[in-house]
């Protein structure tokens, strides 16, 4: 495959809901140009969007880094913020620590991490309470995995 | 594949001004050699460039009314939005009689078919329930359907796999003419009176079924002019207005949503707004919405480029007509719906994606091209001035990488090179030959 690789970084501002979703949108358009299957693009788009929204909704700010190889896309969303004290609990559908203000805006339904988990082939979360969170996920670009 | 298009350019009128390249939702236009050119695979016939062109160089071709001479029996089926084109002075029943005055044998409003579809869609959505990909996107606007095919190929499965009101109405009148009058199919001419060029295209190249029951498409403005001019000599007939108030409502924004009876539905109009909603759906949004009415034109079909009346006034007019109709045609509709063959409501073929976004069939090669594009894009001014004839700097970078443009076609780049060249010429000009050097004045380049 010639070992082609594409790397992209997107800064994400915390609390900035009006610009939220731009990283996910850019990743999506790149995958469309590369000619990745629609079903896979959809999964990457959903997972990236949720990861981006998590930074916007919970953290002061962070970054989304993307590495694309012909076989696989790997995304790292890292932020400085409150961290996730109990990751297992955060993975439960409907569990949310979002403020009332964020819920009023239609976010914070407690579906972010569960939605990411459903969409990706592999994910890992590392977090230090009160400091930072790093979420990583990978999706194979080869063929859709039956869900 | 060679795609037919109803949106065309009149070269002599085009000044190469670049207005159209910026508003095209699929970046289908480039200015080359001083004239706009439309890229066939990208154009969705939405008519946005027709609206934008200050020189009227973009037109929508439709069929001439004379085409009806090829048929023994002709039926006019005016779009629901047709009812919004006339002021109070022109009552709808007499307006519809204008088609008979023009030589058509029969007329039936597409608003009739719209009501059939509204009921059929309601039943389908309720039956299928959670089995459908959410949200379901209406298939009524052909420009939106093609937008999905070329720019949002992953969403073709969200498009409602059902016929348009135009096609339903055409099938209905055709069958009626065959059965009641004993006519053969090729003796019957069915003419859609259309608000937009996208309908002209979809009749020539149907999406999701093989052959349209419509024989030709005539622009609404042609008919409105004829009817207004001949209004005093038209014999009004009271039995021609058959569309229900709900069906007429499909001529304007919100009409579909109002008549499809399911919870959680939304409407979006204007092709750029539609694009933004489709982007969000791709990112997993709008999952709780059951049905989306999406229309390429602002205000819905009343905003089509083949209309004459102001779209906002048209909306009001449609509401007034719908109120006046009330429930007087409901019995006719109920009978027709009961007798209709349910299979007819559905498309017979899958809607296929027609992606324009992929750079190369091979992922590795596409990635190489993408890197080239990204690298070039980073060097460009990024102000999307359009002087190169491409809609954006990004599109320019793509065209250069594809070998369609040269790097120097960017005016900024060219100017920078001219500046460098000028500096070099200037510095060379200062290097005087020894014979010209003046020792006392000391103005040779070495001393400066």
Query: Is residue B107 within 8 Å of residue B100, measured between CB atoms?
Result: yes
Q: Give the length of chain A.
A: 147
What is the structure's pLDDT at A3?
A: 74
The verdict on residue B188 lying in a domain is yes
In a domain, A29, yes or no: yes
Q: Which DSSP symbol is given to A69?
A: -
Q: How far is CA B251 from CA B63, B85, B93, B296, B328, in A?
A: 21, 11, 17, 13, 19
CATH number for the domain including B33? 3.30.70.20
Looking at the structure, tell me whether residues B15 and B28 fall in a common domain.
yes
Contacting residues of B for A34, CB less than 8 Å apart: 358-359, 363, 366-367, 370
Number of separate domains in chain B: 3
pLDDT in tens, A103-125: 777 777 777 888 898 889 999 99
CATH of the domain at A133: 3.30.565.10
**B193 belongs to a structural domain:** yes
Q: What is the pLDDT of residue B441?
A: 61
In A, residues 15-44, which contact B (CB 8 Å cutoff)?
Answer: 21, 24-25, 28-30, 32-36, 38-39, 41-42
Shared domain for B186 and B53, answered yes or no, is: no
Same domain, B127 and B32: no
Question: In which band, very low, low, confident or very high, does the pLDDT at A2 lie, cut at 50, 70 and 90?
Answer: low
Within this chain, do residues B431 and B317 fall inside the same structural domain, yes or no? no
Q: How far A92 CA lies from chain B's nearest CA (Å)? A: 19
**Considering CB atoms only, which of A6, A32, A38 is closest to B367?**
A6
Domain-ending residue, one of B60, B83, B101:
B60
In a domain, B138, yes or no: no
pLDDT at A144: 52
Domain count, chain A: 1
Residue range B364-423, pLDDT digits in tens: 899 999 999 999 999 999 999 999 999 999 999 999 999 999 999 999 989 999 999 999
Average pLDDT over chain B, rounded to whole? 93
Rounded to 10°, the helix B110-128/B330-339 angle is 60
Q: Is A145 part of a structural domain of the chain? A: no
- Same domain? B234 vs B312: yes
**For residue B387, is it within any domain?**
yes
Residues B185 and B55 grouped into a single domain: no
Burial, B66: exposed, middle or buried (Cβ in 10 Å; 0-12, 13-18, 19+)? exposed
Do both B92 and B163 map to the same domain? yes
What residues contact A45, with CB distance under 8 A and at least 6 apart? Answer: A24, A27, A28, B282, B283, B284
Using the 3D structure, point to which of B34, B60, B86 is the last residue of a domain: B60
Least confident interval from A8-12, A88-92, B113-117, B137-141: A88-92
Does some domain include residue A127?
yes
Name the minimum distance, in Å, from the CA of A4 to any CA of chain B. Answer: 6
For residues B313 and B427, membership in a common domain is answered with: no
B69 and B174 in a single domain? The answer is yes
Domain membership flag for residue A146 = no
Q: Is B149 part of a structural domain of the chain? A: no
- Residue B448 lies inside a defined structural domain of this protein: yes
Residue-wise pLDDT for B42-51, tens only, equals 999 999 999 9
- Distance of alpha carbon B147 from alpha carbon B141, whole angstroms: 10
CA distances from A15 to A18, A20, A52, B369 (A): 9, 9, 11, 35
Which residue of chain B comes nearest to A46, CA vs CA? B283
Mean of the pLDDT values across residues B340-356?
93
Exposed / middle / buried, residue B313 (Cβ in 10 Å: 0-12, 13-18, 19+)? middle
Asked if residue A1 belongs to a domain, the reply is no
Distance CA A119, CA A137 (A): 10
SS3 B435: helix
Contact yes or no for B156/B353 (Cβ under 8 A): yes
Residues of A in contact with B361 (CB under 8 A): 35
Instruction: Provide the domain limits for residue B310.
Output: 65-133+156-260+303-345
Same domain? For B387 and B246 the reply is no
Residues B315-330, mean pLDDT to the nearest whole number: 95
What is the pLDDT at residue B275?
Answer: 96
Q: Which domain, by its residues, includes A32? A: 6-140
Could you give the CA distance from residue A25 to residue A41 in angstroms, rounded to a whole number? 11
Query: Does A140 contact chain B (CB < 8 Å)?
Result: no
Q: What is the CATH number of the domain that holds B117?
A: 3.40.50
d(CA B117, CA B255): 12
Indicate yes or no: CB of B284 within 8 angstroms of CB of A115.
yes
Q: Are residues B235 and B381 in the same domain?
A: no
Same domain, yes or no: B309 and B242? yes
Give the model confidence (pLDDT) of B191-220 as tens digits: 999 999 999 999 999 999 999 999 999 999
User: pLDDT tens digits for B410-440?
Assistant: 999 899 999 999 999 999 988 888 887 776 6
Give kind and range of the element (H or E) at residue B293.
strand B291-295
Q: For A60, phi and psi rounded to 5 degrees? A: -75, -30
Helices (H) and strands (E) in chain A, counts: 5, 5
- On chain B, the residues whose CB falls within 8 A of the CB of A24 are 283
B307: left (phi over 0), alpha (psi -120 to 50) or beta: beta
Give percent of chain B above pLDDT 90. Answer: 85
């Amino acid at each position: 495959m010639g070992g082609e690789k594409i790397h992209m970084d997107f800064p994400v501002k915390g609390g900035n809901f009006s610009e939220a979703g731009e990283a996910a949108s850019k990743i999506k358009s790149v995958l469309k140009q590369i000619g990745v299957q629609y079903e896979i693009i959809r999964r990457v788009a959903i997972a990236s969007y949720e990861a981006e929204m998590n930074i916007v909704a919970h953290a002061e700010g962070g970054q989304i880094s993307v590495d694309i190889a012909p076989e696989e896309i790997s995304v790292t969303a890292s932020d400085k913020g409150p961290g996730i004290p109990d990751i297992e609990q955060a993975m439960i559908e409907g569990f949310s620590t979002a403020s009332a203000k964020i819920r009023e805006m239609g976010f914070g339904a407690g579906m972010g991490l569960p939605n990411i988990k459903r969409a990706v082939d592999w994910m890992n979360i590392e977090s230090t309470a009160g400091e930072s969170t790093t979420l990583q996920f990978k999706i194979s670009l080869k063929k859709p995995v039956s869900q | 594949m060679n795609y037919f298009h109803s949106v065309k350019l009149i070269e002599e009128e085009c000044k190469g001004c670049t207005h159209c390249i910026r508003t095209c939702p699929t970046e289908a236009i480039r200015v080359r050699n001083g004239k706009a050119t439309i890229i066939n695979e990208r154009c969705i016939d939405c008519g946005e460039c027709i609206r934008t062109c200050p020189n009227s160089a973009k037109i929508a071709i439709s069929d001439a009314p004379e085409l009806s001479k090829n048929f023994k029996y002709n039926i006019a089926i005016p779009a629901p939005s047709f009812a919004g084109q006339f002021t109070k002075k022109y009552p709808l029943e007499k307006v519809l009689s204008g088609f008979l005055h023009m030589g058509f044998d029969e007329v039936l409003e597409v608003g009739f078919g719209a009501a059939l579809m509204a009921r059929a869609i309601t039943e389908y959505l309720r039956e299928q329930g959670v089995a459908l990909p959410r949200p379901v996107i209406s298939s009524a606007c052909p420009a939106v359907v093609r937008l999905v095919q070329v720019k949002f190929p992953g969403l073709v499965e969200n498009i409602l796999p059902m016929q348009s009101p135009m096609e339903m109405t055409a099938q209905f009148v055709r069958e009626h003419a065959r059965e009641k009058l004993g006519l053969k199919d090729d003796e019957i001419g069915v003419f859609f009176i259309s608000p937009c060029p996208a309908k002209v295209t979809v009749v020539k190249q149907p999406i999701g079924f093989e052959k349209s029951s419509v024989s030709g498409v005539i622009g609404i403005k042609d008919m409105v002019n004829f009817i207004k001019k001949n209004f005093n000599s038209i014999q009004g007939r009271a039995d021609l207005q058959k569309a229900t108030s709900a069906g007429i409502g499909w001529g304007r924004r919100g009409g579909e949503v109002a008549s499809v009876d399911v919870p959680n539905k939304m409407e979006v109009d204007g092709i750029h707004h539609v694009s933004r909603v489709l982007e969000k759906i791709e990112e997993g949004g709008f999952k709780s919405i059951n049905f989306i009415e999406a229309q390429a034109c602002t205000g819905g079909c009343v905003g089509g480029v083949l209309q004459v009346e102001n779209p906002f006034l048209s909306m009001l007019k449609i509401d007034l007509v719908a109120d006046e109709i009330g429930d007087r045609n409901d019995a006719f509709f109920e009978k027709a719906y009961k007798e209709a063959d349910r299979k007819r409501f559905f498309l017979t073929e899958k809607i296929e994606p027609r992606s324009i976004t992929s750079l190369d069939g091979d992922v590795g090669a596409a990635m190489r091209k993408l890197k080239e594009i990204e690298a070039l894009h980073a060097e460009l001014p990024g102000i999307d001035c359009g002087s190169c004839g491409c809609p954006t700097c990004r599109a320019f970078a793509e065209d250069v990488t594809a070998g369609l443009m040269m790097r120097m076609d960017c005016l900024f780049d060219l100017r920078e090179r001219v500046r460098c060249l000028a500096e070099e010429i200037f510095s060379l000009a200062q290097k005087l030959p020894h014979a010209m050097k003046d020792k006392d004045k000391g103005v040779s380049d070495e001393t400066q």
